[in-house]
């Protein structure tokens, strides 16, 4: 099988997914990770295939890759990043890139980081199964609805997907949590 992982370009997003990708690859599957080009060497250094996708930025180097963040007060930068990058610019760039990548690489299943909204939508558009992968604590449904619901609603409309007001797409097939409960 071919597994296409999707994540934001940051070590905290990528590192939890690497061992899972390596385990799948060791079991004989093909694995690729779709994220910004800035993580190509890291991904390939772990023996996995990189697919360039999404917004070109690097969470560990925000000022250089998102210089407009310098104009945001330090105490507001996290919410600005979430609102303007995670919930807007990133999925808008990632969706077309993932659709193009899937057309060329033909994955059988997507493994989608919970901070990367696009993979779930692309899997639905392509009628592929997907796994949501919590790289931090497991997000309760109410938190998903509050934080991601408006963006997901808008993106679902733009890409002619049926409404999902309860955000049930998250975890529809399998919802992994890579962090222990305690």
State the pTM of this model. Answer: 0.93
The pLDDT score that the predictor gives to residue 182 is: 58
DSSP state of 127: T
Confidence of residue 171 (pLDDT cuts 50, 70, 90): confident
Residue 69 token pair = 């963040």
Residue 130 token pair = 């997907």
- Residues in contact with 52: Cβ distance below 8 Å, sequence separation at least 6, in sequence order: 34, 36, 37, 40, 97
- Residues in contact with 25: Cβ distance below 8 Å, sequence separation at least 6, in sequence order: 31, 47, 48
Q: What percent of the chain lies above the pLDDT cut of 70?
A: 99
Q: At what angle do helices 141-158 and 90-105 cross, to 10 degrees?
A: 70
Q: Is the pLDDT of residue 14 over 90?
A: yes
Query: Considering only the top CATH level, what class is 2-177?
Result: alpha beta
Higher per-residue pLDDT: 53 or 138 = 53
**Chain Cα centroid distance, residue 158:** 19
Q: From CA 157, how far away is CA 178, in angstroms rounded?
A: 31
Q: Give pLDDT tens digits for 130-168.
A: 999 988 888 888 988 998 999 999 999 999 999 999 999
Spans of all domains in the chain: 2-177
**Chain Cα centroid distance, residue 172:** 16
Q: Give pLDDT tens digits for 125-135.
A: 999 999 999 88
């Amino acid at each position: 099988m071919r597994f296409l992982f999707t994540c934001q370009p940051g070590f905290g997003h990528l590192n939890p997914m690497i061992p899972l990708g390596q385990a799948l690859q060791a079991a004989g599957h093909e694995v690729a990770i779709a994220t910004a080009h800035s993580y190509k060497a890291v991904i390939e250094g772990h023996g996995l295939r990189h697919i360039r996708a999404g917004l070109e930025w690097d969470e560990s180097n925000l000022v250089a890759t998102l210089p407009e963040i310098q104009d945001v007060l330090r105490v507001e930068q996290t919410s600005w990043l979430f609102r303007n990058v995670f919930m807007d610019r990133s999925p808008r760039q990632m969706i077309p890139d993932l659709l193009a990548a899937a057309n060329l690489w033909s994955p059988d299943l997507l493994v989608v980081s919970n901070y990367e909204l696009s993979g779930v939508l692309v899997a639905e558009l392509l009628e592929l199964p997907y796994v949501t992968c919590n790289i931090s604590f497991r997000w309760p449904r109410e938190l998903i609805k509050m934080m991601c619901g408006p963006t997901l609603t808008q993106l679902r409309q733009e890409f002619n997907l049926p409404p999902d007001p309860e955000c049930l797409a998250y975890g529809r097939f399998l919802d992994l949590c890579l962090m222990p409960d305690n």
